[in-house]
Amino acid sequence: MAKSARPAWRRAWATPARKAVLGALASVAVALGAAGLVQAGTARTALLIGACTAFAALIAAFLVQLARSAAPVPGDLDGTTVDNSAAADAADAALVRDPDFLALGLGGTNMMAMLWTVAMGKRAVGVEMRGDPSLGVHWNIREDLYHHFGLIDQMMLERYGADGVPKRGNGTPFLLAECFYHPDTAAGAVAADEVVTGFLDSHIGEDAHVSGIIHHTEFIDDRWADGRPQRVVTVVDSALPPTDHDPSKIGRPMVEVLDGPSTFQAGASEVLILQRRYLEAIERMDLERGARPRVRLFTSHRVVTPNDDGGYLNWLRRDEGFTPQRDGRMGVRIEQIRELDYKGKFRRVRVPGTEVLDLGVPELFMIAQGFDSTDATRLGFRQEEVKVDHQDGRGPVVAQADYLAGLMEVLVDGRLRRRIASEFDKQGNEYWVRQIAVGHQDDPEVGWILVQVPDFKTFDPILAGLVPPGTDRKAPEYFAAYQYLLRDFYLEQVSHIVEIPREELESVQIPYGPKLFSLVEQVGADALVAANGVVAGDSFGNGHFLTSGGAITGMVGHGARVLRYWEARAAGADQPTAVRGLADGIKADTDGWLHVSAQEFSQAVPINFGAERIERISAASGKSTEARANTIDATRRHRHSLVPLDPSDWRRLVIRSGRTHALSLPPLSQVHPALRGSGEVAGESSDVMADEAGMTTGNGQADLAAPALNAGA
């Protein structure tokens, strides 16, 4: 059935800009007319003339907008309709009101919190506005996550029995730990849904798990020493994967967790999908049995957001998502939304015809929605920038760094490779840059490589001579030149860390990037935002990400704090005491992350290598562990001003076609890149040493004409 078209006058009034113009003119006309009626003499005449003029302008503006309003497409032939009734929430409000736990945001932090909640016999509701997880990065994962999954599996079986635990598609029990890793199943290019459904087992006869083991842990120190290029290569024995879950690993201090080695690698989206499918399976089996669901998920929803563009009358009757209670707790109301890609920006609007769903007052809700959570901000939460003292005489400065991220189809394999190198500006000042290559066991399409941009680098096409001075920054040729400079620098640096010639990398397929993004450490003062609500994950604070510290802090740290909350409640603690302990625990975990990651901004050796190995690396390189890098801020600000950074770029896939480099990476050369091809005999020889800890170090260096160095202290 064809829809009736809106009248032309409604279309002319439709947009916020038009409403503002017409509303302002109407207000002026009314104000002048009212003033004129109470005045006398010439003032009255002038005011009434002004009111008439404003009224005439109002009519003229309305007629202009009416003429410009597009007429609707005739519906006599086009039968397209959207059935909004099907989009409306079918949930029975009685089944979701007043949950024990409400998760606002369904990333790793909150989904782990939901899993712990259900394992403790409580009801959990999750709200997410982006549908299925889509985060494309690859994580380096400490073994603690495996132990957490294992304990959740154990608690679920003990509490609900085999019939109360979800099944995989092949009829076997859905065990999180086994789907994440098992020594008897295969790794490789495996999607979480293939594991959960049992597809590989049923069709190929070989079951699999979503994670890969890190077999190679390598650190390359390419910083110059005494005016000469020097390379020190350190190969560290990788951590052995656990054979069974260990409950004693639950609740370890975050500093201890993060400073330990990474054991697994997995696609972020695959880990998140594994958690999501488990929660969905619980929800589905409970609804099918007619039981009160232990889990309800609303994956295209958000807390009701007031529409500030709805005009004066809509503002007066606008909905509120958070409803304060007399005792300081918050009730929560949500709305179903539709996400639209509008001119390169994501826009979200309430689905027409749907009603607000009142979730009541949860005992506990947790906001974990990534950086810059608007829900947390609405509740008064604020973050402060974290400062780090680089020991360069400037005192504490904002912890900030810029990186280029890209996904290349290169067989990095089960490898975690880090590199630090010297870069020099035109005046000979030395800056340290960090790079990381992350792969996946037996998967040639996963080569996540992140490259730090030195502070002096601008990527300015005008300075590079690629476009003439005065070129508009919005011009296509300006943006194309900017992208060329990003790619050129990125591929050059990637060639140094993967030992593949730059010419070969030109033909490798890049499904994502390189994209420039900026890391700024921020943290809140208190995680408690309501008597029954806390902020967690990156929404509370973030440190350095190079070793996936945020994912581990959220899932292993903040998520398990919810387990401790329910344990405290079961032990007799009242709700205010338990939630206070939860908030303090979240703060302690994030502070631990910030403490461990501080050295990633200025010191050379990365975290999670261990203090003893750090000292050995320092001795081999000849640089003190207390040495710091130079940093500047002015060129970084200029770099950001050229093309503003857009966080939504992480969700945009732009493929640069090419081939997959499915061969193993070449052996790590012991010769510094600056010496290759220079004919320096000394640079072509190197010493390789192995010690009892399994650490192999190679040192190659030679004289080379160098810039006048002004190295960091």
* Shared domain check, 247 and 352: yes
Element holding 236 (H helix, E strand): strand 230-236
Q: Are 62 and 22 in contact (CB under 8 A)?
A: yes
φ, ψ for residue 139, nearest 5 deg: -105, 145
From the centroid of its chain, how far is CA 137?
9
* Shared domain check, 509 and 541: no
Helix 108-119 crosses helix 559-570 at what angle (to 10 degrees)? 30
- Here the tokens at position 673 are 């890149």
Q: Is 216 part of a structural domain of the chain?
A: no
Q: How far apart are the first and last CA of the chain?
A: 75
Angle ∠(595,598,599) on CA atoms, nearest 5: 120
The helix/strand/coil state of 534 is strand
- Rounded Cα–Cα distance for residues 269 and 131 (Å): 12
Residues 6+ positions from 464 with CB-CB distance below 8 Å: 481, 485
* Shared domain check, 313 and 293: yes
- How many C-beta atoms surround the C-beta of residue 371 within 10 A? 14
CA distances to 133, 173, 327, 539 from 372, rounded to whole Å, are: 18, 38, 27, 6
Give the model confidence (pLDDT) of 54-105 as tens digits: 777 767 776 666 555 555 556 666 766 666 544 445 556 668 899 999 999 9
pTM: 0.82
The 10 Å CB-count burial string (b at 16+, else e) for 233-260 is bbbbebbeebeebeeebbbbebbebbbb
Give the model confidence (pLDDT) of 249-294 as tens digits: 999 999 999 888 899 999 999 999 999 999 999 999 999 999 999 9
DSSP code of 70?
P
Strand partners, 85: none
Looking at this protein, which amino acid is placed at residue 447? G
Residues 6+ positions from 73 with CB-CB distance below 8 Å: none
Q: Is 77 part of a structural domain of the chain?
A: no
Q: Is 208 part of a structural domain of the chain?
A: no
Helix 108-119 crosses helix 144-160 at what angle (to 10 degrees)? 30
- Rounded Cα–Cα distance for residues 253 and 128 (Å): 29
> Among candidates 559, 553, 550, 582, which has minimal Cα distance to 569?
582
* Shared domain check, 145 and 293: yes
Q: Which domain holds residue 38?
A: 9-68
- Here the tokens at position 422 are 């010297």
How many residues are given for the chain? 713
Q: Is 90 part of a structural domain of the chain?
A: no
* Shared domain check, 554 and 467: no
Q: Is 694 part of a structural domain of the chain?
A: yes
* Shared domain check, 129 and 20: no
- Rounded Cα–Cα distance for residues 96 and 93 (Å): 5
Last residue of a domain, one of 564, 597, 630: 597
Q: Are 233 and 696 in contact (CB under 8 A)?
A: yes
Rg of the chain, C-alpha, whole Å: 29
Last residue of a domain, one of 546, 580, 597: 597
Q: Are 100 and 117 in contact (CB under 8 A)?
A: yes
Total number of domains constituting the chain: 3
155: domain CATH number is 3.50.50.60
* Shared domain check, 544 and 514: no
* Shared domain check, 527 and 516: no
The helix/strand/coil state of 339 is strand
Give the model confidence (pLDDT) of 504-541 as tens digits: 999 999 998 898 888 778 899 999 999 999 999 999 99
φ, ψ for residue 557, nearest 5 deg: -85, -70
Q: Are 229 and 670 in contact (CB under 8 A)?
A: no
Q: Is 452 part of a structural domain of the chain?
A: yes
Q: Are 454 and 431 in contact (CB under 8 A)?
A: yes
Q: Is 227 part of a structural domain of the chain?
A: no
Strand partners, 297: 126
Q: Is 234 part of a structural domain of the chain?
A: no
The helix/strand/coil state of 668 is coil
- Here the tokens at position 609 are 């290598």
> Among candidates 713, 710, 698, 697, which has minimal Cα distance to 236?
697
Element holding 345 (H helix, E strand): strand 345-350
Last residue of a domain, one of 577, 597, 617: 597
Residues 6+ positions from 496 with CB-CB distance below 8 Å: 222, 419, 421, 435, 673
* Shared domain check, 515 and 557: no
Residue-level pLDDT at 222: 94
- Rounded Cα–Cα distance for residues 461 and 477 (Å): 9
Taking the chain (713 residues) in consecutive chunks of 10 residues, what is each chunk's mean pLDDT? 46 56 70 70 73 76 61 63 52 81 97 98 95 83 97 98 94 95 88 89 78 93 91 88 93 90 92 97 95 94 76 52 95 91 77 90 96 92 80 67 91 94 90 92 93 90 94 91 94 96 94 84 93 96 80 96 98 98 97 82 58 60 55 53 54 70 85 77 42 49 47 35
* Shared domain check, 588 and 568: yes
Burial class (CB within 10 angstroms; exposed 0-12, middle 13-18, buried 19+) of 341: exposed
The helix/strand/coil state of 434 is strand
- Rounded Cα–Cα distance for residues 122 and 88 (Å): 27
Q: Are 365 and 518 in contact (CB under 8 A)?
A: no
- Rounded Cα–Cα distance for residues 342 and 699 (Å): 54
- Which segments within 77-191 are labelled E, that is strand? 101-104, 124-127, 138-141
φ, ψ for residue 465, nearest 5 deg: 80, 15
* Range 317-320, long-range pairs (CB < 8 A, 24+ positions): 319/356
Q: Are 241 and 143 in contact (CB under 8 A)?
A: yes
* Shared domain check, 548 and 411: no
* Shared domain check, 430 and 342: no
